[in-house]
Amino acid sequence: AQTVTQSQPEMSVQEAETVTLSCTYDTSENNYYLFWYKQPPSRQMILVIRQEAYKQQNATENRFSVNFQKAAKSFSLKISDSQLGDTAMYFCAPQGAQKLVFGQGTRLTINP
Amino acid sequence: EAEVAQSPRYKITEKSQAVAFWCDPISGHATLYWYRQILGQGPELLVQFQDESVVDDSQLPKDRFSAERLKGVDSTLKIQPAELGDSAMYLCASSLDGYGYTFGSGTRLTVV
């Protein structure tokens, strides 16, 4: 079974700052994917970024990047030049055997 | 852009009543998922379909919950009878290849 730990229930930063959200996970699978999802107050779950576990290169998507440490089973999300629209719950979600498992989330607030 | 459609957006029901939610995945997506998200927590998988077949329903409370996807397209999740603890957001997601889900806007259920 997969487990996910997001150790930061809440974070708050000023607009334009850089923020890093942490995530550790446990899985017995060798081939899997890792995702970060964003859920703004509207409650729509939106994919932010995805990483294939077999790839060593960290994924990047505009202002969003990850630091994937496979041996440590760590998958952190860095948001650069944060914007007010980044305010949301962020969920780390590893996926193996076609099943997506979510962490408890980090509530991120971007302050003007 | 293709979307996963869910209805209704909001539902208030009295305990012991029956309630049903509907989901129409993105066209061509063979895999469909129902998740339950209690306020302040991450989503938890209730049931996974591959076409019309149930792949995983290990977390579905089968004494009161049922799910079907008769023609392998849209799906219905039913609760009968509803209990106060069923109040949550019910999210539907679909996937083409089992990796990378697209979520609907969800149905927020309140049981009174």
Give the pLDDT confidence score for residue A28 in this predicted structure.
Answer: 84
Partners of residue B105 in chain A, C-beta under 8 Å: 42-44
Pairing type for strands A60-61 and A46-52 reads unpaired
The per-residue pLDDT for range A4-26, each reduced to its tens digit, is 999 999 999 999 999 999 999 99
Give the gap in angstroms from C-alpha A15 to the nearest C-alpha of chain B. 24
- Condensed to tens digits (0 to 9), the pLDDT of residues A31-87 reads 889 999 999 987 789 999 999 998 889 999 999 999 999 999 999 999 999 999 999
CB spacing of B89 vs A43 below 8 angstroms: yes
Q: Does A2 have pLDDT greater than 80?
A: no
Please give the backbone phi and psi of residue B27, each rounded to the nearest 5 degrees, phi first: -60, 130
Residue A23: the pLDDT is: 97
Identity (one letter) of the amino acid at A97?
A
Q: Is the pLDDT of residue A1 over 70?
A: no
What is the structure's pLDDT at A98?
64
Beta carbons of A100 and B101 less than 8 Å apart:
yes
Cα gap B48→A99, rounded to integer Å: 8
Question: Quick one: residue B58, left, alpha or beta (phi over 0 = left, psi -120 to 50 = alpha)?
Answer: alpha
Instruction: Give the C-alpha separation, B56 to B70, whole Å.
Output: 16
Alpha-carbon Rg for chain A, nearest whole angstrom, is 13
Chain A residues near any Cβ of chain B (below 8 Å)? 4, 33, 35, 42-47, 50, 91, 93, 95, 98-105
Kindly report, residue by residue over B43-65, the tens digit of the pLDDT: 999 999 999 999 999 999 999 99
Contacts of B42 in chain A (CB under 8 A): 4, 91, 93, 102-105
pLDDT tens per residue, range B67-96 = 999 888 999 999 999 999 999 999 999 998
**Predicted pLDDT of residue B26:** 95
**pLDDT the model gives residue A99:** 79
